[in-house]
């Protein structure tokens, strides 16, 4: 039985890269009929925040890919300690009493060569080590990486193939901090083993850590899970996406708030670093589950494009538009409504159901509803330039003529697409102008701008009363 997990640490909001790791795990689990586990890796007490935790849950719930089991590492420290003790008892770890030095935490100091271990500490006798520990001296528990025996470790990665690293190049990494809190490596491996995780799909930044994890599994006598590392998502500057460096543009919440459809986001993110290899791009959830496989995962990093003025990758926006076009009207209306309300429009679901079909292929993000459809909901049109009322190759007199004629027509015309179509075209013919010249002043009068959905449907939804009122207002503006 396949068991996979997504294990975020609540040290920042959920970002695109994390979301993709979750999505790939989810897809892999669903594809294989396995179990998807969410595990909150909150061992870094210093940096954990409730806000981050909330952001992670908000983001994951928004994706709408439900998981099956949920754990929190802080509930399981007993287990981590037991396993760390076991490694120590087996003589595969040792206490390092070297005091923590801030200098050592700065990676920039490592230019002289790789740090591998603190000299002397590996060889402190068991008796002395026990005595100093019993006396209350602080220590870091470190894994005693086999040295000088020419041992090679190999990760048989499901994506990258066999990757080898000499044990001599691996530093004596920490298992327990001097505070007694288990490190990520310790806690993660202990939990993966205990939760019987079968496949670990995670970002490639962990590929190098995997050798340490193999050592831990080995020390504990557990069989290894399968590893599959994912190429990184990078920013336009080429660096790995990071909340600290790139800010809210990489946050899942930013996409949600802009009006991405959750599945469009999932679709977009899945296509960075994975390909169905058959040129398909717009895919349903079911299609993705059926198509997903580790074979399609690449080895090289994928870029997510965003700029100061445009936080969203054009491809993501395009995919969102495609999914919007495929969304049934009723569902679309429901999803649009909160965005209209948030923009301060007095929108209601009933009216939105009629507006949705008119804007469905005119919006790329749900929030566009406010920009594109405001005039459907506003009682009073926002001020606009009366010059807009003047048709192509026409003048103010023509605009006036058109609007007066429109007033007469719309007072009596049947307010349906067909009725308005024939009545307005006939009107244009009577005053001997082109249909386009007839339509523009009416459109601007009704919508307050030149760009709008097709005229007849628009008038129909607006209704006779509103149309006449707005045309009257436009006429006033022309004479003013």
Partner RNA sequence: GGCGCUAUCGUCUAACGGUUAGGACGGAGCCCUCUCAAGGCUUAAAUACGAGUUCGAUUCUCGUUAGCGCUACCA
Catalytic residues: 243
Q: Which of residues 454-473 bind RNA (CB under 7 A)?
A: 454-456
Question: Which is closer to RNA, CB of 52 or CB of 480?
Answer: 52
Question: Which is closer to RNA, CB of 26 or CB of 211?
Answer: 211
Q: Which of residues 42-81 bind RNA (CB under 7 A)?
A: 43-44, 47
Query: For RNA, which residue of 81, 144, 272, 470 counts as binding (CB under 7 A)?
Result: 272
- Closest distance of CB 75 from RNA, Å: 15
Question: Which is closer to RNA, CB of 339 or CB of 456?
Answer: 456
3-state secondary structure the chain: CCEEEECCCCCCCCEHHHHHHHHHHHHHHHHCCCEEEEEECCCCCCCCCHHHHHHHHHHHHHHCCCCCEEEEHHHHHHHHHHHHHHHHHCCCEEEECCCCCHHHHCHHHHHHCCCCCCCCHHHCCHHHHHHHHHCCCCCEEEECCCCCCCCEEEEEECCCEEEEEEHHHCCCCEEECCCCCECHHHHHHHHHHHCCCCEEEEEHHHCCCHHHHHHHHHHHCCCCCEEEEECCEECCCCCECCHHHHHHHHEHHHHHHHCCCHHHHHHHHHCCCECCCCCCCCCCHHHHHHHCCHHHECCCCEECCCCCCCCCCHHHHHHHHHHHHHCCHHHHHHHHHHHHHHCCCCCCHHHHHHHHHHHCCCCCCCCHHHHHCHHHHCCCCCCCCHHHHCCCCCCHHHHHHHHHHHHHHHHHCCCCHHHHHHHHHHHHHHCCCCHHHHHHHHHHHHHCCCCCCCHHHHHHHHCHHHHHHHHHHHHHHHHC
Question: Which is closer to RNA, CB of 285 or CB of 362?
Answer: 362
- Closest distance of CB 478 from RNA, Å: 19
- Closest distance of CB 411 from RNA, Å: 20
Taking CB under 7 A as the binding criterion, the range among 124-132, 247-255, 320-328, 402-410 that sits at the site for RNA is: 320-328
Q: Does 240 sit near RNA (CB under 7 A)?
A: yes
Q: Which of residues 321-360 bind RNA (CB under 7 A)?
A: 321-322, 325
Q: Which of residues 419-438 bind RNA (CB under 7 A)?
A: 435-436
Q: Does 303 sit near RNA (CB under 7 A)?
A: yes
Query: For RNA, which residue of 64, 75, 130, 281 counts as binding (CB under 7 A)?
Result: 281
Q: Does 138 sit near RNA (CB under 7 A)?
A: yes
Q: Which of residues 142-161 bind RNA (CB under 7 A)?
A: 160-161
Q: Which of residues 162-181 bind RNA (CB under 7 A)?
A: 163-166, 169, 171, 173-174, 177-179, 181
Query: For RNA, which residue of 3, 4, 9, 36 counts as binding (CB under 7 A)?
Result: 9
Instruction: Kindly write out the interface string for residues 208-237 of this chain, putting x where it contacts RNA by CB under 7 A and - elsewhere.
Output: xx---------------------xx-x---
Q: Does 140 sit near RNA (CB under 7 A)?
A: yes
Query: For RNA, which residue of 361, 395, 414, 430 counts as binding (CB under 7 A)?
Result: 361
Number of residues that bind RNA (CB under 7 A): 88
């Amino acid at each position: 039985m396949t068991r996979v997990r997504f294990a975020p640490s609540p040290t920042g909001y959920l970002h695109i890269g994390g979301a993709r790791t979750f999505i790939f795990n989810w897809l892999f689990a669903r594809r294989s009929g396995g179990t998807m586990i969410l595990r909150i890796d909150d061992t870094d007490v210093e940096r954990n925040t409730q806000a981050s935790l909330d952001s992670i849950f908000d983001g994951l719930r928004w994706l709408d890919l439900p998981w099956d089991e949920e754990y929190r590492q802080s509930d399981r420290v007993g287990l981590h300690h037991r396993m760390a003790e076991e490694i120590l008892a087996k003589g595969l770890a040792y206490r390092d009493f070297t005091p923590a030095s801030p200098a050592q935490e700065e990676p920039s100091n490592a230019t002289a060569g790789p740090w591998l271990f603190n000299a002397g500490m590996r060889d402190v006798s068991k008796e002395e080590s026990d005595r100093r520990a019993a006396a209350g001296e602080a220590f870091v528990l470190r894994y005693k990486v086999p040295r000088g025996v020419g041992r090679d470790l190999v990760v048989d990665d499901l994506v990258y193939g066999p990757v080898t690293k000499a044990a001599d190049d691996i530093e004596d990494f920490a298992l327990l901090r001097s505070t007694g809190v288990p490190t990520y490596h310790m806690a993660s491996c202990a939990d993966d083993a205990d939760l019987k995780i079968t496949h670990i799909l995670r970002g490639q930044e962990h590929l190098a850590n995997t050798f340490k994890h193999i050592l831990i599994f080995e020390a504990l006598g557990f069989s290894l899970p399968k590893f599959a590392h994912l190429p990184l998502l990078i920013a336009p500057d080429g660096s790995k996406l990071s909340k600290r460096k790139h800010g809210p543009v990489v946050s899942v919440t930013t996409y949600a708030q802009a009006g991405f459809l959750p599945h469009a986001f999932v679709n977009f993110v899945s296509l960075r670093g994975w390909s169905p290899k058959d040129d398909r791009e717009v895919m349903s959830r079911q299609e993705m589950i059926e198509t997903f496989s580790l074979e399609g995962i690449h080895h090289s990093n994928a870029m997510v494009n965003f700029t100061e003025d445009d936080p969203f990758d054009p491809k993501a926006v395009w995919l969102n538009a495609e999914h919007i076009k495929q969304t049934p009207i009723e569902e679309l209306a429901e999803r649009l409504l909160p965005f209209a309300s948030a923009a301060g429009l007095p929108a209601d679901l009933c009216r939105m159901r009629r507006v949705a079909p008119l804007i469905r292929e005119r919006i790329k993000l749900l929030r566009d509803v406010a920009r594109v459809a405001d005039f459907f909901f506003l009682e009073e049109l926002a001020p606009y330039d009366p010059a807009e009322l003047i048709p192509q190759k026409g003048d103010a007199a023509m605009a006036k003529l058109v609007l007066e004629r429109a007033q007469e027509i719309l007072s009596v015309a049947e307010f349906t697409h067909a009725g308005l179509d024939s009545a307005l075209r006939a009107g244009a013919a009577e005053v001997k102008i082109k249909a386009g010249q007839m339509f523009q002043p009416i459109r601007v009068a009704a919508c307050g701008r030149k760009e709008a959905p097709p005229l007849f449907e628009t008038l129909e939804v607006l209704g006779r009363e509103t149309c006449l009122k707005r045309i009257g207002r436009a006429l006033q503006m022309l004479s003013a």
